[in-house]
Amino acid sequence: ETGVTQSPTHLIKTRGQQVTLRCSSQSGHNTVSWYQQALGQGPQFIFQYYREEENGRGNFPPRFSGLQFPNYSSELNVNALELDDSALYLCASSIPYYNEQFFGPGTRLTVL
Amino acid sequence: SQQGEEDPQALSIQEGENATMNCSYKTSINNLQWYRQNSGRGLVHLILIRSNEREKHSGRLRVTLDTSKKSSSLLITASRAADTASYFCATDSNNNDMRFGAGTRLTVKP
């Protein structure tokens, strides 16, 4: 069974640029959630995708957008990057009604 | 916004001692979960307790839930140096988002 993977591991961008982060869900999991974790804080929910549709969204602006593909992998896109977007971005996969989420190792984004 | 608050923010104990971390939350929940994170990496699920449960055990872990006080505690017994990590509680309700607290940083000294 393959776990959740994320790419890239680290990324450095400048303010105003756009970034795409990728996540492959655990085998058999059709739900993917994305989180932003600032240094010293807990993860904050960005959104969730279930069967290629957005299935819940946290308090993040529209410049944070996502996609889920037929194989249940997912992308997080962030436009017009701001310095405060610097964080660890985590994705987690799960199966509906089973609340345990399986997290990937994260992508560390630095915005300069 | 974050739902839960863990207490204490940091905890340092000797190997073999017990570690207790507390979590308080604000709104009604379906479940409460505890996760562990090593050095800013991905989170690992430890245990889930449902809103109609009061106590749950898993190995050296014991979790309690008091929905009237909107609080939970995680007890790690006979701690080991390898338990050094950050521990987060997370709650979920009906809108598909899971809300995490800011975490407790546990250091277990050998």
Q: Is the pLDDT of residue B1 over 70?
A: no
Distance (Å) of CA A42 to CA A23, A80, A112, B9, B43: 20, 24, 22, 12, 10
Contacts of B2 in chain A (CB under 8 A): 41-42, 44
Angstrom CA distances, B52 to A66, B20, B23, stand at: 34, 22, 17
Question: Dihedral of the CA atoms A97, A73, B4, B2 (nearest 10)?
Answer: -130
Q: Hey, are the CB atoms on B97 and A88 less than 8 Å from each other?
A: no
Per-residue pLDDT of B42-85, as tens digits, reads 899 999 999 999 999 999 999 999 999 999 999 999 999 999 99
Chain A and chain B share a number of CB contacts under 8 A equal to 64
> How far is B92 from B103, CA to CA, in rounded Å?
16
A105 touches chain B (CB under 8 A): yes
Q: What confidence tens digit (pLDDT) does each residue in A33-73 have?
A: 999 999 989 999 999 999 899 988 999 999 999 999 998 99
Rg (Cα) of chain B, in Å, rounded? Answer: 13
Which chain B residue lies closest to A91 (C-alpha atoms)? B42
Contact status, residue B63 vs residue B47, Cβ threshold 8 Å: yes
